[in-house]
């Protein structure tokens, strides 16, 4: 009988190893876990009740908001605000920093999240996910919150993770001590440890990118795609193309099998020259996870986790996955830069 370790037990074991741990982090994480279970319940019955479709609103990204997007956002904000351990939140769905409502207890943590990533797939029953990134505030505890408490480089994350709603619902996260995967047992209502110490293969066999935009890419990106599709690469055969259009699902597959996910800069939209993905609630958390699993994440030239965060919704190109594959991306960009 495999040892059934719940995510809470796992966190408590982790907490015991941290001198001076107050239990605040475990409290915060338990609220994320509860939010995931509530969102999972709605996602799983989406086809049966009136939560499919659009709300008729657009978010700060200019994207149409789905009913489940709005629902997931509401659940996370409500639960996290009452955790008593946050001083601020930020959501992909909200233009500004979300302060903890007056009168509720404050804490030292900041949580940034994408409540339901991949929501364009909701109505066709394709995997979607929740992504979260956790920091400790940098300003003194009894001072006013500063934007620098929220706009921190990814290197300073204390935890990051995602929930993947699919054939089974998984919670995958790191607290800087490796990457661990938990699968929801709906019969028990608990996330149970199913993938301890996940390591991404050094070299992958899959590339994930939306090739429909190839005519908008820069030259290095075009050369990168030719490399992965050619027989003249490290594998001596083409990588398989796999792209579902949901970052959490594409990332998770490549994390387990090995591979590279790419959302390059493109010149389709002058308002988004850096591509579509957001640094704070998508690239940074995924980069922390992949590095903890032995992989890499760059914007083409620079390590994602070292990028300066200037605004909440800034975007970045993202090349993330198996170390050898991402190193190749950086090598091609450097060769182009050297040619000038
Ligand atoms: P495209 C979903 O909207 C998302 O933010 C990511 O989950 C996904 O990787 C990407 O956009 C897909 O974008 O332009 O290929 O449809």
Ligand 1 geometric centre to CA of 92 (Å): 13
- Total of domains in the chain: 2
- Among the three residues 195, 215, 250, which one is the final residue of a domain in this structure? 195
How far does the centroid of ligand 1 lie from the alpha carbon of residue 281, in Å? 13
Q: What is the pLDDT of residues 269-313, one digit of tens each?
A: 888 889 999 999 999 999 999 999 999 999 999 999 999 999 999
Q: Which domain-ending residue is among 195, 219, 244? A: 195
2 in a domain, yes or no?
no
Distance between CA atoms of residues 264 and 210, nearest Å: 9
* d(C-alpha 74, C-alpha 77), whole Å: 5
Query: Which domain range does residue 147 map to?
Result: 7-195
Q: Has residue 28 got a pLDDT over 80?
A: yes
Do the Cβ atoms of 40 and 173 come closer than 8 Å?
no
Instruction: Say which residue, 273 or 37, is predicted with more confidence.
Output: 37
Does residue 97 fall inside a structural domain? Answer: yes
Residues 258 and 154 in one domain: no
What separation in Å is there between the alpha carbon of 129 and the centre of ligand 1? Answer: 12
Whether residue 122 sits in one domain with residue 68: yes
Those residues whose C-beta lies under 8 Å from the C-beta of residue 236, and which sit 6 or more positions away, are none
DSSP state of 160: E
The mean pLDDT value for 178-186 works out to: 96
Substitution site in 121, 263, 321 for ligand 1 pocket (most atoms within 8 Å of beta carbon): 263
- Best of 211, 244, 245 to mutate for ligand 1, by most ligand atoms within 8 A of CB? 245
Of 195, 220, 243, the residue that ends a domain is: 195
CATH code at position 38: 3.30.540.10
* pTM summary value: 0.94
303 in the same domain as 162? no
pLDDT digits (tens, 9 = 90+) for 40-92: 998 887 655 555 566 667 677 766 666 888 999 999 999 999 999 999 999 99
Distance 20 CA to ligand 1 centre (A): 40
Cα distances (Å, whole numbers) of residue 108 to 31, 91, 136, 154: 15, 18, 6, 17
Ligand 1 pocket test: which of 91, 247, 297 has the largest number of ligand atoms within 8 Å of its C-beta?
A: 247
105 and 174 both lie in a single domain: yes
What is the overall mean pLDDT for the chain? 92
| Centroid of ligand 1 to alpha carbon of 234 (angstroms) | 28
| CA of residue 121 to ligand 1 center, whole Å | 9
For residue 244, what pLDDT is reported? 95
**Closest approach atom of ligand 1 to CA 245:** 12
Would residue 1 count as lying in a domain?
no
Statement to judge: residues 159 and 59 lie in one domain = yes
Cα angle, residue 81 at apex, residues 148 and 7 outer, rounded to 5°: 95
């Amino acid at each position: 009988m495999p040892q059934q370790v719940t995510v809470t037990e796992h966190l408590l074991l982790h907490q015991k190893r941290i001198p001076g741990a107050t239990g605040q982090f475990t409290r915060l994480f338990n609220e994320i876990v509860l939010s995931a279970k509530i969102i999972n319940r709605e996602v799983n019955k989406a086809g049966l009740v009136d939560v499919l479709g659009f709300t008729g609103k657009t978010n700060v990204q200019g994207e149409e908001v789905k009913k489940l997007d709005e629902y997931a956002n509401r659940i996370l904000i409500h639960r996290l605000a009452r955790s008593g351990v946050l001083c601020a939140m930020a959501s992909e769905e909200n233009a500004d920093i979300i302060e903890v409502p007056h009168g509720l207890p404050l804490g030292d943590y900041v949580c940034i999240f994408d409540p339901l990533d991949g929501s364009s797939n909701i109505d066709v029953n394709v995997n979607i996910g929740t992504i979260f990134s956790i920091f400790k505030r940098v300003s003194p505890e009894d001072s006013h919150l500063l934007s620098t408490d929220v706009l921190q480089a990814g290197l300073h994350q204390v935890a990051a993770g995602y929930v993947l709603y699919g054939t089974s619902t998984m919670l995958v996260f790191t607290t800087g001590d490796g990457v661990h995967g938990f699968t929801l047992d709906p019969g028990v209502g608990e996330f149970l440890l199913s993938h301890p110490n996940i390591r991404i293969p050094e070299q992958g066999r899959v590339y994930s990118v939306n090739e429909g935009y190839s005519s908008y890419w820069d030259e290095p990106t075009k050369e990168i795609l030719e490399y992965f599709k050619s027989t003249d690469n490290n594998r001596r055969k083409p990588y398989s193309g796999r792209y579902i259009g949901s970052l959490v699902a594409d990332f998770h597959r490549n994390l387990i099998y090995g591979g590279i996910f790419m959302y390059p800069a493109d010149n389709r939209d002058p308002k988004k020259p850096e591509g579509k993905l957001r640094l704070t609630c998508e690239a940074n958390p995924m980069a922390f996870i992949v590095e903890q699993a032995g992989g890499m994440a760059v914007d083409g030239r620079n390590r994602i986790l070292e990028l300066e965060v200037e605004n909440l919704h800034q975007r970045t190109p993202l090349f993330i996955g198996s170390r050898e594959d991402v190193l190749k991306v950086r090598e091609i960009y450097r060769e182009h830069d050297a040619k000038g």
